[in-house]
Amino acid sequence: MNEKINIGIIGGSGFTGLELVKILKNHKYSNISFLTSRTYKNKEVSEVFPSIQDEKKNGLVFKETALKSDYENIDLLFLCLPPYNSMEHVHNTAGNKNYKIIDIGSDFRINDPASYKSWYGKDHIIPELLNDFVYGLPEINRDLIKKSSYVANPGCYPTSVLLGLAPLLKAGYELEHISIDSKSGVSGAGRKLAEPYLFGSLNNNFYPYCPKNHRHIGEMEQEIKKISGHDYKIDFTPHLLPINRGIFSSIYCKTVQGQADDFEENITEVYNDFYSDSIFVKVLTANIPQLKDVVGTNRCLVGISYDGRTSILKIFSAIDNLLKGAAGQAVQNMNLMFGLEEDEGLKMDGTYS
């Protein structure tokens, strides 16, 4: 392939939108046709966000909204919008059929309208489209994504959790119980102006939030069922870390008692096999995953530890919530949908060493 993919981005000035811009700027086959931002309409991206270089003065400028003619010239649309806004956008632009869509928001991740309502508290306005969107976790659904025009990019927590659990569940291991303790950097909350997100409130601090019924549970249980065939009810508790980026999930799986001595070793092999074709997931053996090793990359590091005393299998999973948990994974999906190398534009190493 040697033509460029023409791309539109709706909601380009949030953390996810900007990470997308940074990746696409250095992506060999991408051309950003337009990107929108109500807050910064008509402003140059590199003026508002000096961390983004525009040395060639390409004039990447935020538009307030995209016009009908804008949509006519694109091959792919990324939606970086808050809950309920993606489905409204798709609903309002439903006549446009000529481009693919990757929704980085949460509106098309749940397949069942009733389940959507129970987790999101509202009726879905275009439930008939829910099954057209493939759940965009490439390590699980690579082939489906390649063939699909509509992709729902997974949530940040679900990405970290599902990559940690998939090989185990796929291999058919039965679990009595799954408890997940996740910790996220503050960028997961976007640029929300609220006291808990002030530097003075979060620096030196740590705490859980939303200890019951976090929305991502619905998405996780749905995918866990697809992988395992079982109706697991998972226990999930998110916490807020005093860092900018990164999600670390500690997943505690209660196994059937009396595992063999080489259980940890066997499980590690299962994981290595499962991810043998997945460039972005690395199963560590000598080390335990650390956030600093994934921040700035599109990778997921996985660690495995089995405690024979309690029959608990501990799975540790680390990702950058804005990359593998959002914009990076979205470009990975784009690469698959357009027949490109899966890691085109995503070869970044970590920020810390």
Calculated CA dihedral for residues 95, 107, 339, 16, nearest 10 degrees: 110
Is residue 231 near a copy of itself by the rule CB under 8 A? Answer: no
Q: Which of 86, 69, 178 is nearest to 130 (CA)?
A: 86
Which span (93-101, 110-118, 132-140, 248-256) binds a copy of itself, by CB under 8 A? 248-256
Q: How far is the CB of 283 from a copy of itself (least distance, A)?
A: 11
- The pattern of x and - marking residues 13 through 52 that bind a copy of itself according to CB under 8 A reads --x--xx--x--xx--------------------x-xxxx
Smallest distance, a copy of itself to C-beta of residue 88, A: 26
Q: State the nearest-atom distance from the C-beta of 95 to a copy of itself, in Å.
A: 34
Output the six-digit token pair for 30. Answer: 């991408």
Going by DSSP bridges, is the β-strand pair 247-255/312-319 parallel, antiparallel, or unpaired? antiparallel
Question: What is the C-alpha separation between 141 and 250, in angstroms, rounded?
Answer: 23
Tell me which of 60, 129, 144, 284 binds a copy of itself, using CB under 8 A: 284
Residue positions annotated with a catalytic role:
156
Whole-angstrom distance, CA of residue 348 vs CA of residue 295 = 10
- Strand stretches in 30-174, DSSP E: 30-36, 62-63, 76-79, 100-103, 134-135, 150-152
Contact characters 187-226, a copy of itself, x per CB under 8 A: x---x-xxx-xxxxxxxxxxxxx-xxx-------------
CB 69 to a copy of itself: min, Å: 29
Which one, 98 or 213, has the nearer CB to a copy of itself? 213
Helix (H) or strand (E) holding 116: helix 113-120
Q: How far apart are CA 274 and CA 280, in angstroms?
A: 12
* 250 is an interface residue for a copy of itself by CB under 8 A: yes
On whether the CB atoms of residues 302 and 249 are closer than 8 A, the answer is no
- Give the x/- contact pattern for a copy of itself in 331-350, rule: CB under 8 A: ------------x---xxxx
Measured CA to CA, the distance from residue 289 to residue 302 in angstroms comes to 6
Q: Does 239 bind a copy of itself (CB under 8 A)?
A: yes
44 DSSP assignment: B
Least gap, CB of 236 to a copy of itself (angstroms)? 9
| Residue 263 contacts a copy of itself per CB under 8 A | no
57-86 residues in contact with a copy of itself (CB under 8 A) are none
Provide the token pair at 315.
Answer: 């799975």
Give the footprint of a copy of itself on residues 285-314 (CB under 8 A).
Answer: 286-297, 299, 301, 305, 307, 309-310, 312, 314
